[in-house]
């Protein structure tokens, strides 16, 4: 009997992992340009961390976490998101005492027990970034510019939806207004919205059901209730982004699922992903560090869903394979022996070399070299071997005048000879 992977957990096979490598490398490059450093935090945390950070009444904490008792009965949870762990580490290691502003990014798997579907898995991956230490609009704009640059570097055109969620001064009043509005539309709202109404009325705005969307179309907008400091902050963030030609759309219905967000909130929605169309979400969370037992330090961050990002890139049909530079095709046992040594020599100098063994004929080997898209084939035949030579075929120009190279050349010279053969 075969054992399959757990539902909602998937393998990333080599044909896809090349694309993933490209994404991750690009993130590291784009983020380094903005002075970010990588933080690597554990996948497992005490359950209490997520309950406190994300909020007891969120879908994630109520229904979606992989939580289990450890052998000593303490409760552990596979992380459903990255920010809580980053903040925990930030507090635990007093990073705020080491630098006034910390710019951190992370890459790794997250776990949520949701209903698996296209673009939604139970283990998925995020690339996330956080700036901790300051709350001025310049910081928000800088983070969003970095995000924008990352997407541009990937040749993806995206629009940033942004909104302000206000702060503890102005949001409670708005919540109350929205709750009262919801009460007046009760009959038109779905069951989920009924329970949202008391627990977290802001979530009425992001219900995906048509009936609810219609019912809340005329709901009061948070933007009209912002206090002066929140309004100034929001305007300033938008100005800076527009100044840098970042495409932004103010979306008054944008509220985020996690309790900890305040002020600037944003999302990147992409076409072509179906209903799982959010590739990135994030926002400011000025009370979170304190809520988790640290000093009152503001922060802002985002998380990009790698699976959904990979789907967008796949739709571009770009090729990210790294084919071998040299495919060595030995003919006969003695040649195989020699091929082994030559391959080792080239590989240890950093060249990508594919070595065929198993005594197959030249035709079969050439077919395989073609399939792998190898740039050059080095054929080692028994007769030439005695003379310490091999034959090179250029697979791109398909030159039918294969050239002979001297295997005793020093490694860089040998590689040059292989590359120049046939020219």
Residue 257 φ/ψ, nearest 5 degrees: -70, -25
Provide, rounded to whole angstroms, the least separation between the CB of residue 99 and ligand ATP: 26
DSSP 8-state class, residue 117: B
Q: Which is nearer to ligand ATP, 171 or 308 (CB)?
A: 308
Minimal distance, residue 22 CB to ligand ATP, in Å: 18
Closer of 8 and 220 to ligand ATP (Cβ)? 8
Using DSSP, state whether 20 is helix, strand or coil: helix
For residue 190, the minimal CB distance to ligand ATP (Å) is 17
**Structure tokens, 42:** 């554990």
Q: Which is nearer to ligand ATP, 201 or 281 (CB)?
A: 281
Rounded least distance, CB 410 to ligand ATP, Å: 50
| 228-243 and 137-153 helices, crossing angle to 10° | 30
* Least distance CB 276 / ligand ATP (angstroms): 5
Q: Cβ 104 to ligand ATP, closest distance in Å?
A: 16
For residue 183 the two structure tokens come to 């009460």
For residue 393, what are the β-bridge partners? Answer: 377
Q: Which of residues 121 and 285 has its CB atom nearest to ligand ATP in the complex?
A: 121
Please state, in angstroms and rounded to a whole number, the distance separating the CA atoms of residues 119 and 10.
12
Work out how close the CB of 119 gets to ligand ATP at its nearest, in angstroms, rounded to a whole number: 6
- Nearer to ligand ATP among residue 128 and residue 137 (C-beta): 128
CB 302, min distance to ligand ATP, A: 8
Phi, psi of 196 (to 5 degrees): -60, -35
Cβ contact 166:227 at 8 Å? yes
CB 328 within 8 A of CB 356: yes
- Quick one: 141 exposed, middle or buried, by C-beta within 10 A (0-12, 13-18, 19+)? buried
CB closer to ligand ATP out of 79 and 308: 308
Euclidean distance between CA atoms 90 and 100, whole angstroms: 12
- Select 8 or 381, whichever has its Cβ closest to ligand ATP: 8
Q: In what order do the strands lie in the sheet with 389-394?
A: 353-355, 326-330, 376-380, 389-394, 403-406
Q: Which is nearer to ligand ATP, 103 or 256 (CB)?
A: 256
Cβ nearer to ligand ATP, comparing 276 with 391: 276
Cα distances from 288 to residues 247, 326, 366, in angstroms, run: 29, 53, 60
State how far the alpha carbon of 142 is from the alpha carbons of 35, 105, 122, 162, in Å: 11, 14, 32, 14
Which helix (H) or strand (E) covers residue 334, if one does?
Answer: helix 333-348
- Compute the least distance from the CB of residue 255 to ligand ATP, in Å: 10
Closest residue to ligand ATP: CB criterion = 305
Residues that bind ligand ATP (CB under 6 A): 81, 112, 114, 119-121, 124, 126, 257, 276, 278-281, 303, 305, 307-308
In angstroms, the Cα distances linking 124 to 13, 23, 63, 361, 379 are 15, 15, 17, 44, 44
């Amino acid at each position: 009997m075969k054992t399959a992977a757990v539902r909602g957990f998937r393998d990333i096979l080599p044909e896809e992992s090349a694309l993933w490598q490209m994404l991750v490398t690009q993130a590291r490059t784009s983020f380094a340009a903005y002075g970010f450093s990588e933080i690597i935090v554990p996948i497992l945390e005490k359950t209490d961390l997520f309950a406190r950070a994300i909020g007891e009444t969120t879908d994630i904490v109520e229904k979606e976490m992989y939580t289990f008792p450890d052998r000593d009965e303490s409760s552990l949870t596979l992380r459903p998101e990255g920010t809580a762990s980053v903040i925990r580490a930030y507090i635990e290691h007093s990073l705020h005492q080491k630098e006034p502003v910390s710019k951190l990014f992370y890459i790794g798997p997250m776990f949520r027990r949701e209903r698996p579907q296209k673009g939604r898995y139970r283990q998925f991956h995020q690339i996330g970034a956080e700036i901790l230490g300051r709350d001025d609009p310049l910081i928000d704009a800088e983070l969003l510019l970095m995000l924008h640059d990352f997407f541009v570097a990937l040749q993806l055109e995206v629009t940033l939806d942004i909104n302000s969620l206000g702060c503890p001064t102005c949001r409670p009043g708005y919540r109350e207004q929205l709750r009262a509005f919801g009460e007046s539309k009760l009959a038109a709202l779905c069951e989920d919205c009924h329970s949202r109404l008391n627990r977290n009325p802001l979530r009425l705005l992001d219900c995906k059901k048509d009936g609810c969307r219609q019912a809340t179309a005329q709901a009061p907008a948070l933007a009209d209730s912002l206090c002066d400091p929140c309004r100034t902050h929001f305007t300033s963030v938008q100005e800076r982004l527009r100044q840098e030609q970042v495409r932004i759309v103010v979306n008054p219905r944008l509220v985020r699922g996690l309790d900890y967000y305040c002020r600037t909130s944003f999302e990147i929605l992409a076409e072509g992903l179906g209903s799982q169309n959010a590739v990135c979400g994030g926002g400011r969370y000025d009370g979170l560090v304190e809520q988790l037992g640290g000093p009152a330090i503001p922060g802002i961050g985002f998380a990009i869903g790698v699976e959904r990002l990979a789907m967008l890139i796949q739709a571009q049909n770009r090729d990210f394979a790294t084919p071998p530079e040299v495919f060595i095709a030995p003919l006969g046992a003695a040649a195989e022996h020699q091929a082994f040594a030559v391959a080792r020599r080239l590989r240890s100098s950093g060249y990508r070399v594919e070595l065929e063994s198993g005594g197959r004929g030249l035709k079969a080997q050439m077919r395989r070299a073609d399939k792998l898209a190898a740039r050059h084939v080095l054929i080692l035949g028994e007769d030439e071997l005695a003379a310490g030579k091999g034959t090179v075929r250029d697979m791109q120009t398909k030159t039918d005048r294969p050239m002979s190279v001297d295997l005793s050349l020093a490694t860089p010279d040998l590689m040059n000879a292989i590359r120049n053969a046939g020219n």
